[in-house]
Amino acid sequence: SAMDAVEASIHLLEDDPLFNAGRGAAFTAEGRNELDASIMDGATLAAGAVAGVTTTRHPISAARAVIEGSSHVMLGGEGADAFARSLGLEQVDPGYFFTERRWRSLEKGLARLGLPIPPRPASAPEAPSARAALVHEEGKHGTVGVVARDIHGNVAAGTSTGGALAKRWGRVGDSPIIGAGTYASNQAGAVSCTGAGEYFIRLGVAHEICALVRHRGLSLQDAVDQVVQRDLTALGGEGGVIAVGPDGRLAWSFNTTGMYRARIADGRPLEVGVYKDEP
Ligand code: ASP
């Protein structure tokens, strides 16, 4: 099913330290990893989300478990981890999410903000001496999102992230917010977003795209372009979205220099892109 495909794909991305989700997540200003994720089923409008989890290895599975294991849509913080644990979802030491690259980004980010650098997490591996050899990818967000349409014509969307670098005060972005970072409806399509969450929340980007398709009859591509290139850009926000319609049509749009992305469909070759001029 589309839901299974979304969850399984996001597992791989959460496990991959290259992305800002699961292992490899961005750090908070306090040097912690607080993970957000959400998933939505376009067939039933069932949706689940978690915000600020710190010990659940696969936040996307915790989000999905909210649908099946509770009568709620969104759980936060320690309660969300406790819920995931109670259902047997894999728990890890918070040090599992640590990567040297993100720690360096945090140090740089805090220096820019004039904030103190927290002590290295006790569970982190010893700092390597060859500091210069580390690759920095400042400005590339790395939140992960997946949209899928299955053979039954059902669509689903999921998003998982460590959130904004050096976030403070329990900040929560758009990724776990249904309607902002994630939305799916068989009547319009499935959408997952990445970018500066504060703007995506204010525009309700994922739901807005679906609303334009449903109420204005826009094609999915026109809808994603209108919201990203016009509304998001006008508000000063940066980021992008991926989307799939119930007819299987795929769309994406971003106003940043690049957005790591890929898509595949029956009878069509795999397309992979980073910058604007690629497929
Ligand atoms: N949208 C995410 C957030 O604001 C971050 C990102 O996509 O890079 O938490």
**Model confidence over 175-194: pLDDT tens digits?**
999 999 999 999 999 999 99
What residues contact 219, with CB distance under 8 A and at least 6 apart?
213, 249, 251
- Rounded to an integer, the average pLDDT of 141-162 is 95
- Across all residues in the chain, what is the average pLDDT? 94
196 CA closest ligand 1 atom index: 4
Q: Residue 86 and residue 56: Cα distance in Å, rounded?
A: 11
| Residue 254: strand, helix, or coil | strand
Ligand 1 pocket, residue 141 CB under 6 Å: yes
CB 203 within 8 A of CB 170: no
> Which has the closest alpha carbon to 54: 26, 93, 85?
93
Q: Hey, which of 138, 143, 172 would you mutate to test ligand 1's pocket, going by the most ligand atoms within 8 Å of its Cβ?
A: 143
Is the distance from the beta carbon of residue 182 to the nearest atom of ligand 1 less than 6 Å?
no
Distance 267 CA to ligand 1 centre (A): 33
Cβ–Cβ under 8 Å, residues 21 and 10 = yes
**Quick check: 79 pLDDT over 70?**
yes
Q: Give residue for tokens 């990893």.
A: 33
The catalytic residue among 56, 143, 159, 182 is 143
Atom of ligand 1 nearest to the CA of 171: 9
Written as one letter, the residue type at 35 is L
Residue ID of nearest Cα to ligand 1 atom 8 = 141
| Bridge partners for 35 per DSSP | 53
Kindly give the distance from the C-alpha atom of residue 115 to the centroid of ligand 1, in angstroms, as a whole number. 21
Whether the Cβ atoms of residue 128 and residue 100 lie closer than 8 Å to each other: yes
Tell me which residue has its CA closest to atom 5 in ligand 1.
163
Sequence-distant (≥ 6) Cβ neighbours of residue 68 within 8 angstroms:
48
- 38 ligand 1 Cβ < 6 A: no
pLDDT for the residue 141: 64
3-state secondary structure of 119: coil
pLDDT tops 80 at residue 140: no
pTM of the model: 0.95
Residue 129 has what pLDDT? Answer: 66
Task: Give me the pLDDT at residue 134, please.
Answer: 45
**Cα–Cα distance list, 217 to 208, 211, 222 (Å):** 13, 9, 10
143 is catalytic: yes
3-state secondary structure of 41: strand
161 Cβ below 6 A of ligand 1: yes
> Does residue 102 have its Cβ closer than 6 Å to ligand 1?
no
What CA–CA distances, in Å, run from 104 to 28, 63, 135, 140? 12, 29, 9, 14
Is residue 143 in contact with ligand 1, taking CB distance under 6 Å?
Answer: yes
- Residue 18's identity, in one-letter code, is L
Q: Is the pLDDT of residue 63 over 80?
A: yes
Of 84-98, 113-127, 136-150, 213-227, where does mean pLDDT reach its minimum? 136-150
Q: Phi and psi dihedrals of 148, rounded to 5?
A: -150, 150
Give yes or no for a contact between 178 and 40, defined as CB atoms under 8 angstroms apart: yes
